[in-house]
Structure 1
Amino acid sequence: MPISHSSLLSSTPASIRSLWLSALAMLLALALSSAAFFAPTHFLPWLAGIELVLLVHGMLNQGKISGLVRYIVLQLLFTIVLYLAIHGGNKVSEGVLAVARILLAIVPGWWLTNTVSTEAIGAILGKMMPNKWAFVVVASINLLPYMANEVREIYQLQRLRGARIAPKQLLNPRNWGEFSYCVIFPLLIQLLKLARQTAVAAKARHFGYHAKRTLWPSQRSEHDN
């Protein structure tokens, strides 16, 4: 028998406290990510200081920062090349500022996924939105590491085939189309296949059959209890 949502989350005061802390962490991440785009420029150093604390905390919780660094470096390179091609060297600083805002928007989500369990995120989202939507969000979060590995494997295989998608080659906008054809399109195909497999697995487990959502406790919860 699956453990009901209410019995799993309301069994002990510690579970309730952990759920509230997880909810506060989600609100904090949402507020910081939103502020990264809407806050005035002179507030960004303060925001960066707060997120630096989150970054250190996430790394102490075994969070891997290498993927985040690679993404920001590539984003910075693409943005600078794009601004140079369109505006020349006059507005490069605006491109750097845009990338800085993207980084400040990503860090809270990275911190959240490394400090709050997906079970807690799913439980909280299940109280605020339909269960099927909450399932999609949590499944997407769980699949992020898998998709990162897929991107890495596709990229390496295409490099071995001779595709012009090395970092230095991507500085040339003429090679961006090849990057889309060799990496982005295969990744989209993999995403479609994975979405279908997830839907089949959920259907096989009768997801959505009961009006009241049920879920299994995580291994960590079983050991703690």
Structure 2
Amino acid sequence: MKTSGGRHCRNSVNGANTVIKSGKGIGWTATGLILALVLSSAAFFIATQYLFGLIICNLGLIIHGVYRRGDFWVIGRVFLAQLVITLSLYYLMHGKDQLLEGATVVLRVLMAFIPGWWLSVTCRPEKIGEVLTWILPAKWAFVIAASLSLLPTMTREVREIYQIQCLRGARITPKALKDPRNWSELIHCVIFPLLIQLLKLSKQTAMAAQLRHFGKHKKTTHWR
């Protein structure tokens, strides 16, 4: 009996330690969520002369995200795509005079994107969903957490769709997209199929949640 009781006590202590560690993880997730929200908002609202300080903060996030095995080239691809599209539009509408302003817009968009990328790399979607239930209904928190968990899948789907359409001869290569007349082909060959695939994934996620009786109880529980 003593042996059994000792085992029970040790298991209880281990369980308590697990809960404490999980609580620390939730606290870290909440802090990261607030930090990402503040930095992403600052990218659009702070004055231009303070952008350098924001760049330094985001560089720290990039270094930490790469250390946590985040894909740095996701940021690079977003930056290059935004740079090409935005500068092309500015050049067509305003000529060479406002290209610097267009580059500033691209920089602000990138600074708003980096905190979200860092959050998705460093925090688990289920913990983000648990934190969001503090201020949002459980269903909305579930939708946001599920969307974050699908980001890697979305990235993979975009890459596969793009490669397949290039093999079919679609004029969506970086060289072909220098001509604005080919942008509509990018929408039809990549964007529309991606939206259809996302609708399919969202339907599957909703069905999985329904089969698990999600939303039937007012008080939600979280597996730690």
TM-score, length-scaled by structure 2:
0.90
**1:49-60, aligned counterparts within 5 Å?**
49-60=56-67
CA distance in 2, matches of 1:11, 1:127: 21
What's the counterpart of residue 117 of structure 1? Answer: 124
CA distance in 2, matches of 1:192, 1:20: 33
Which has the higher Rg, Structure 1 or Structure 2?
2
- Give per-residue Cα distances to partners, 1:37-96, cap 9 Å, x unaligned: 000000000010111111101111111111121111011011111111111111111110
Contact (CA 8 Å) 2:139, 2:215: kept in 1 or not?
yes
Contact (CA 8 Å) 1:9, 1:16: kept in 2 or not?
no
1:41 is the counterpart of 2:48: yes
> Out of 193, 199, 218, which is 1:211 matched to?
218
Quote the offset at 1:17 in angstroms.
2.7
What's the counterpart of residue 167 of structure 2? Answer: 160
Contact (CA 8 Å) 2:86, 2:106: kept in 1 or not?
yes
RCO higher in structure (CA 8 A, sep ≥6) = 1
Contact (CA 8 Å) 1:32, 1:108: kept in 2 or not?
yes
CA distance in 2, matches of 1:105, 1:139: 21
Contact (CA 8 Å) 2:68, 2:121: kept in 1 or not?
yes
TM-score, length-scaled by structure 1:
0.89
The verdict on how the C-alpha distance between 1:192 and 1:78 changes in structure 2, with shifts beyond 3 A counting, is same
- Give per-residue Cα distances to partners, 1:92-132, cap 9 Å, x unaligned: 11110000001111111111111112222111001110000
Please tell me the residue identity of whatever aligns with 2:174. P
Q: How many matched pairs? A: 210
Please tell me the residue identity of whatever aligns with 2:136. M
What's the counterpart of residue 5 of structure 1? Answer: none
RMSD: 1.6
**1:64-213, aligned counterparts within 5 Å?**
64-213=71-220
Q: Once the two structures are aligned, what percentage of the paired residues are identical?
A: 50
- Give per-residue Cα distances to partners, 1:9-55, cap 9 Å, x unaligned: 99733332332222111111100000000000000000101111111
CA distance in 2, matches of 1:13, 1:145: 30
- Give per-residue Cα distances to partners, 1:130-154, cap 9 Å, x unaligned: 0000000000000000011111111
Contact (CA 8 Å) 2:78, 2:110: kept in 1 or not?
no
Contact (CA 8 Å) 1:122, 1:138: kept in 2 or not?
yes
CA distance in 1, matches of 2:98, 2:47: 18
Unaligned runs of 5+ in 1: 1-7, 218-225
Unaligned runs of 5+ in 2: 1-14
